[in-house]
Structure formats: structure tokens, C-alpha cells
Structure 1
């Protein structure tokens, strides 16, 4: 025979069997997830600025490398090849003839190549012009020739002028005879610098002279008292 007894359950067990949420203490608040904030790594936050700095450094390095190459190349060029600009000197000047509308002069120039290895190729198109008191006495052409290193070559230039102004200026200077005359001589010479058969650079040498002569008489050699000149090179 079985006997069944109704024994009341404790309050805790009854609460567990029922609604579990209602059994939680009222004083404990419900749990919430903590706020989530993602902090970017330092290498990501500075990525944009570092890329700009990297490009700037590369550009500066490239410019410095090019500049260094140019400087070294010029130094090697100066040490190995010894390129120098030619020098011109007025050696002789003569007023040969004065006519009604022309004046002829004889001019001798000494061309010096001071370089020890670089040769000079004078091309066509070089000219010499002589003026007096703002009027041109005449002009002539420089010959084309090849000048070796460490060489001095004297060339003769026939200077001829036409026009009443040039002839009048020459006649006036010739009548003075014993006085000092200041002439202007303008030389323009296209030159090709070369090393053997290799052409290095092409330039034009421009020289302006102020030549003071004594006794500018037709048919007689002129006594050159002093010369001053300025030189420039056009590339």
C-alpha cells in the first residue's frame, strides 16, 4: 500500500520551478555590454602623412643625385679635358686705301687655344667689324679652320667698308696723321669644342676691343698704343 504525503516545497525551490527571472534580486541591475570603441593603430593613423613625406624624400634625393652627377661631370671635364675659351689679340692694323665711297683696312688677329687637349673648330659665319666715332669703317669674314690644342695662329682679315659715312670717317682720321684714334673692333666667332672626332659643345665667342692707334695714315702701318677688350661666350 502506498501513502502519498503532500509536503510543501521551500520558497527557493518554488521560485526556481516557476519564473526564474522573477527570482533574481531586485537590487541587481540587468547586465549590459561595455561600450565598444575601436582605436586605429598608430601606423594606420599616420599612413597618409608618412606617404607624403616619403615621396618628398625621394624627390629631394633624386635632385641631389642629379646635382651631384653634374658637379662631378664638370669636375672630370675640367681635370681631364681642360676646356678653355680661345683668346684673340689684335696684332696688326693698317689703313690701306681710302676712296670716295669706301675704305679698306688690313687686320691681323692672333688666335690662341690655351687648352691642353681640346681642339677648336672655327666654322663659317665668323665676322670682324671696325668702327670709328660711331661710323663703321668696314667688316670682314673670319676663315674656317681647325686649331690644335696649345696653338697660336695668326690670321689676316680684309676689312672693307662702303658708304659715304665710312669713307668720311677714314679720311678724317687719316688727315689727322699724328693724333691718337680710338677704334672699335667687334669679333664674333662660332667655335666647336672637340676631343678628337668627338664634338663636345658649340659656342660663339664675342670679343669687343677698344684699340687706340697713333698716326692713322693711309698706306702706313698703324702704331697700336693700347688695347682693351671684353669677352663673353654665347651657347
Structure 2
């Protein structure tokens, strides 16, 4: 009999798996780091910057701020991913509650079919199906309609959640790139015009953790930020 197999296939439509984000927090951070390194490398290759010969105090101030912004991109993306995962789990749990009722309907049909198949004589076999045919057809139709509705609803919910998640991640990328652009411009001005204590304006200003004074600068480039080759750095006029 193929009917139980068909029923199980229909019910299986309502058991969709969770999906993952289009970009992981690590991938977003790597994308931002690559973007920032390209921007800073281009800046340091500028002839105007090389001629200006800005001091190490500029790097001490702005490189940690730029690096902190890239690190924020990872945590902000993780928040987007976690919110989306929680919403998917909520939607799936709603379907699981109704899936139990579908499972019970399928079991009833399977038990009825099994009972008919066990009939030893032909008349008993045919009579069993005749007597239960309307109930079987009604149950199969109900299972089909319910599972289709649940599957379509869950799929639509996942599409909506995925769209929101992608938008959230893109917002993180746009924000971090805007912030690092502002910091890179501030670094450029510092290298050209000399060190000052002014703070660049960003959409989410990182805290300045540098405690060194302009008179005694100490280079504190983070280990996870790849500076360009030494020969590209401008000569210092300290």
C-alpha cells in the first residue's frame, strides 16, 4: 500500500529545517578588516602623506580606534544572527505543536490500513476498506490541507526572517565602514597636519583607550591589524 508513504511525505512538508545567516560574524569582521586594510594601505602610499611625515602618535591614536570598530562589527553581526535564530525557533515551535496532531491522524490511518491488510479472506479485506474508505479519504485530505498550510506559512516566515537578518547585517557593514572611513580621514589629517587631541565624529564613537601623551608616543598597533610594509610608511619628523 502506498497511501501511508504519501501521508508521511505530506506531513514531512511541515518539518522544515532552520537555516543559517548569509554571513557569519567572523565573515563580516573579515570583510571589514579587508576593507580597512585597503583604505589604510592606500592612505600610506599617498605621496602627500609620505612628504608630510606625520608622527607615530597619529597611529597610536587612530589604529586602535579603527581596530575597535572592526571588532564591533563581529558582535553587532552576532546580535543580528541570534535574533533571527530565536525568531526561527519560535516559528518552528508553533508548527511542531500542530505537527503532533498531524502525526496522530497519520497513525490512525496507518493503523486502519494495517488492520484491513491483516484480513485473511478476500471479503473481509474488501469490506474493511469499504467501511473505512470515507474516514480514510477525509483524514488524508485534512492532513494534506493542514500540512500544506503549515509548510507555506513556515516558509514565508523564514523568508521574512532571512530578509530582516540580511538587512540587519548590511546595516552593520554600512555603519562600520562609515565609522572606519571617518577614522581613516582623521588619521590622514593627523599625518598631514600633526597630532591633536580632537576626536573624529562617527555614528558610534569607540572609546579612546590610548593613555600615551603626544610628547612620549608609544606604538600600540593591535596584533590583529596588519599594517602595510615598513617601506610604505612615511618618514617620521618627530
The structure, 1 or 2, with the larger RCO (C-alpha pairs under 8 Å, 6+ apart) is 2
Structure with more helix by fraction: 2
Does the alignment reach a TM-score above 0.5? no
* Structure with larger Rg: 1
TM-score under structure 1 length normalisation? 0.27
